[in-house]
Structure formats: structure tokens, C-alpha cells
Amino acid sequence: MERALAVVDAEESTKALVREAGKLAAAVDAELVLLHVTTDEEYEDTRQTMESIPNSPVGYSARKAREGAEEFAADVGREVLEGVDVSWDAVGELGDEQTEILETAEARDCDHLFIAGEKRSPAGKALFGDLTQSIILNFDGPVTVVTE
């Protein structure tokens, strides 16, 4: 492993995921990329909420969504990786989670991916899909899945 990508989300399990990814990356002197993706749906919800505030000059652009996602990933990194001897970078993206995760991993030359697994029944996976399963099938490299 030379550069790993850890997917950061709003779940409490993210901290454990980033902590483990950081420890493993530090152990092999690898770099770590922390990625948070703001989905299109989250972006639209926030944009509409911001626009509904009367006489407010504050807007919510795609650029602001990406910056907010990057800051979220950086906040998690600062909190969890303090004291861990690992080089890390925070990235924020906007769009479809699977697409953004795979494209960021490729663009950053990541050879390992860390993602939190969701606990769903087999029927739930069949009906709603599963991001973790999709990433495992489509990432060209090892994927470590951390569950609560």
C-alpha cells in the first residue's frame, strides 16, 4: 500500500474507520486520502433551504458544497489522526457516491480503499443496492470494510 483512500461519512463508525486506516497507512509509510462526498440530493436539499430564507444574501453553490465536504473530511482527520504519524489529505466532492469514490481513488492513484459497511439484510441489499458491495466489485485493488 502506497496511498489509501478512506471514505468519510456522517456515521459514528467513520471515526473507527479513519483511525484504523491511519494506523495501517502509518505502519507501511503510506499516504492517506480522506474523502467525503456530498450527494446530489443533499446538495439540492441544502440549496433549497438556503434559498428559502427571505432576504438572505447567502447562497449555496456546488463550490461551497465541495468546500464543506472537504472541511468535514479534514475535521474528522484532525480529530482522529492526532498523534498518528501519517501523511493525509482531505478531499471533498459532489455527486454520486460510487462514482466520486472510484474517480477520486483513480485520480489520486490510491491502491487501497477503506469504507464503512452498512448492516443490511440480503433482501435490503437486493432492493436498495449497497454502496460497499458496488465499491468492492468496481475498485481495482484491495478494499477494507469496517463495520460497527
Average pLDDT over residues 102-131: 77
Look up residue 114 and give its DSSP letter.
E
Single pTM value for the model: 0.87
Which of 32-41, 70-79, 100-109, 128-137 has the lowest average pLDDT?
128-137
| Residues 54-64: tens digit of each pLDDT | 776 667 888 99
The closest of 38, 44, 148, 45 to 94, measured between CA atoms, is 38
d(C-alpha 57, C-alpha 105), whole Å: 36
The whole-angstrom separation of Cα 20 and Cα 26 is 10
Cα 148 to its chain centre, rounded Å, is 16
Model pLDDT for residues 42-92, shown as the tens digit of each residue? 989 888 887 777 776 667 888 999 999 999 999 999 999 999 999 999 999
DSSP-assigned letter for residue 118: P
What's the CATH fold of domain 3-146? Rossmann fold (3.40.50)
Measured distance CA(84)–CA(140) in Å, rounded: 27
Residue 33, pLDDT score: 98
